[in-house]
Amino acid sequence: MVFEKNIHVLRQRDSILADEIIQAGQSADINISKSKSGLPTLRIKNIYVHSLYNPQKEAEEWVKSNEQIIASADNIVVFGFGLGYHLSELCKHTDKDITVFEPDPNTLKASLCARDLRSVLSRIKIVTDNAIPYFDGEIVVLTLPSSVKLFMNYYDHVLSRMKSRDIINQGLRIMVVGPVYGGSLEVARYCSSSLIRMGHTVELVDNSRFDETLFYIKEITNGKSHYNALVEQFTHLLSKFFLARCELFQPDIIIALAQAPVTTDCVERIRQYGVKTAYWFVEDYRLMEYWKHIAGSFDHFFTIQKDDFFKKMKQSGLNNYHYLPMAAFPDVHKPVDMFEDEKKYYGSDISFVGAGYYNRKHFFSGLIDHDLKIWGNDWDMRSKLAGFIQRSGSRIDTREIVRIFNASNININLHSSTYHKGVNPFGDFINPRTFEIASCGGFQLVDRRSNLAELFNVDDEIVVFDDLDDIRNKIKHYLENPDEAERIAENGRKRVLRDHTYEKRMEEMLDVIVSAGYESAYWKNDREPVKKLISEAGRETDLGTYLSGFSDQENINLTDIKDRISNEDGVLSRTETIFLMMKELTG
């Protein structure tokens, strides 16, 4: 009975956590017994978390001992929930915001079963993962040591992240580099918008303005060697644009999205300024092997796959990789109101949005006895699916995709495969569509992926299928039970808003970058005015004469001089030799 009352209050603040706690099991390691004062006390793995004699008095003394630091803070962070005695006392003592980190849902469940914690649960925010909330003002961290000891690695990690947050909260200059075209173009825009919202100064290098040139290169030659050479030249040019833009914007961090036209030379040049560089490889490594050539050039390489991919990268001598799944952008991927004619136009019993990959062509042929609409390009208009393909297979923009997700009773999400006839049984990563449909509040049936269950609670927030027979049964079930589908879709949307937005991903990315050791880039102090350098050297001296060769630039540094020497032919002068030696010595 106490548990239900507690859960009711918790649900009003955090329904996902409430469900997580309901689903948590009873651990044999957790033991609740009566203390000598008659109040319940908690023992985990044979270690007491609260006093066996008087947990209430212990909590009062805990608050008293922390009185001064509580008074000095705007936000109070507590590590360890225990049975919440210390939290009850803390809530009585202060009306400041309290955030409690507790990684173990079993402990939370035991606590909510043992004590009436409604007054605490209505006041505090509970965090069970690594997601550090953004705090306004000063933070103090109080600990329940006995509880912290049980999950030492978790709390060390959280603490390190919180320290990084101090730096991040001051606001960073971040440059986001997008591709010329392709799926990651939108991702770059979402990342950029999210970072701006988080308070950073952001420059988006939008290379989509060059897409016509790239398509033109494709048109003007049939020869692969010509095409490759031209694309390489074009990439070098765009990379130089990026470098020039960098020198003007002077970022602290650069985030390049998959296919961004940035050469490794440019990245290395930028890193010399102390700029932290990250690459988000939102690609399937099995299909796109260019990661081998670029991953090592960046400080951090974020991927949407792990396990086998990590093994491969490790074998390649890399250790800069981090898993960062795709996400949704709720400003765009959201529930929308539609007129009846719109609903009719975009809606159907079952729909699919995406390109006509090999596996999809096969798979959807088994669903043509349904009210099916297929949206997207690269479908065969001569196949038996032709009657189901909307607008003759033309591309669909994001605005319309959101409407389709909203209007369809069931959105089918089948990850692409070029060699399976249906579901890829070895599929691991989660495509953006999974998050986007959920963020729209759409109901989806998604093919089973090995990484899905850690991102969504299967059956409660999302429904998976394994093959054609399975999906046919599930389509029938959910068309007959729309309320159940609606409830799951709503849970899925809540989960995305809580955990799977681009803002969350950017938080995670910045936390990783800054936690790894961060100092501001030294753009500002590195270059000096050429005029000043000539004047100091003396205009008529060898050095002054040499430096006057840089008069076309306003400011230079040793790297600029070294680069120019490297690009010139002929015998080195004495001055040039000295500069190269200086560069060698200073690194």
Partner 1 sequence: MNEIKVETDQPEVLAAIKNSVGDARHVVRELAAVFTERIQPLRLEESESVFNDLTRNIYDLQGLLEFVMELKNGMHYFEGFGMPADPISADSNGLKLFNEMLTSMESRDWVMLADLIEYELSPLLLKEEEWLGDLDEKLKNY
Of residues 133 and 145, the one with the C-beta less far from partner 1: 145
Binding to partner 1, residues 149-188 (CB under 8 A):
149
Q: Work out the burial of residue 369: count CB atoms within 10 Å of its CB; fewer than 13 is exposed, 13-18 middle, 19 or more buried.
A: exposed
Of residues 143 and 439, the one with the C-beta less far from partner 1: 143
Distance, CA of 298 to CA of 267 (rounded, Å): 7
**Residue 515 sits in the site that holds partner 1 (CB under 8 A):** no
HSE of 554, CA atoms in CB hemisphere, 13 A: 2
- Total interface residues for partner 1 by CB under 8 A: 18
Select from 143-151, 186-194, 204-212, 299-307 the region that touches partner 1 (CB under 8 A).
Answer: 143-151
Distance, CA of 531 to CA of 261 (rounded, Å): 34
Of residues 47 and 458, the one with the C-beta less far from partner 1: 47
Asked if 65 and 95 touch (Cβ cutoff 8 Å), the reply is no
Q: Which residue has the tokens 């349904």?
A: 370
Q: Which residue in the set 22, 24, 32, 52 belongs to the binding site for partner 1 (CB under 8 A)? A: 52
Say how many C-beta atoms besides its own lie within 10 A of residue 544's C-beta: 16
Shortest spacing between CB 477 and partner 1, in angstroms: 51
Cross-strand pairs, 301 = 279, 321
Select from 144-152, 184-192, 326-334, 551-559 the region that touches partner 1 (CB under 8 A).
Answer: 144-152
Structure tokens at 287: 């299909």
Asked if 284 and 242 touch (Cβ cutoff 8 Å), the reply is no
Shortest spacing between CB 78 and partner 1, in angstroms: 13
From residue 115, give the alpha-carbon distance in Å to each of 32, 85, 88, 328: 11, 9, 11, 38
Shortest spacing between CB 460 and partner 1, in angstroms: 36
Structure tokens at 109: 């469940």
Shortest spacing between CB 583 and partner 1, in angstroms: 47
Shortest spacing between CB 485 and partner 1, in angstroms: 48
Structure tokens at 264: 């490794």
Shortest spacing between CB 67 and partner 1, in angstroms: 12
Asked if 574 and 546 touch (Cβ cutoff 8 Å), the reply is no
β-strand pairing of 350-353 with 321-323: unpaired
Say how many C-beta atoms besides its own lie within 10 A of residue 427's C-beta: 20
Select from 60-68, 298-306, 535-543, 569-577 the region that touches partner 1 (CB under 8 A).
Answer: 60-68
| SS3 at position 517 | coil
Shortest spacing between CB 27 and partner 1, in angstroms: 18
Distance, CA of 574 to CA of 514 (rounded, Å): 42
**Residue 88 sits in the site that holds partner 1 (CB under 8 A):** no
> What track of x and - describes contact with partner 1 for positions 93 through 132 (by CB under 8 A)?
----------------------------------------
Q: Which residue in the set 15, 29, 48, 544 belongs to the binding site for partner 1 (CB under 8 A)? A: 48
**Residue 388 sits in the site that holds partner 1 (CB under 8 A):** no
**Residue 36 sits in the site that holds partner 1 (CB under 8 A):** yes
**Residue 58 sits in the site that holds partner 1 (CB under 8 A):** yes
Asked if 127 and 63 touch (Cβ cutoff 8 Å), the reply is no
Shortest spacing between CB 149 and partner 1, in angstroms: 6
- What DSSP letter does each residue of 285-304 carry, written as one string? TTT-TTHHHHGGGSSEEEES
Residues written for the chain = 587
Shortest spacing between CB 455 and partner 1, in angstroms: 35
Q: Which residue in the set 17, 18, 19, 50 belongs to the binding site for partner 1 (CB under 8 A)? A: 50
In the complex, which residues of this chain contact partner 1 (CB under 8 A)?
36, 46-54, 58, 61-62, 65-66, 145-146, 149
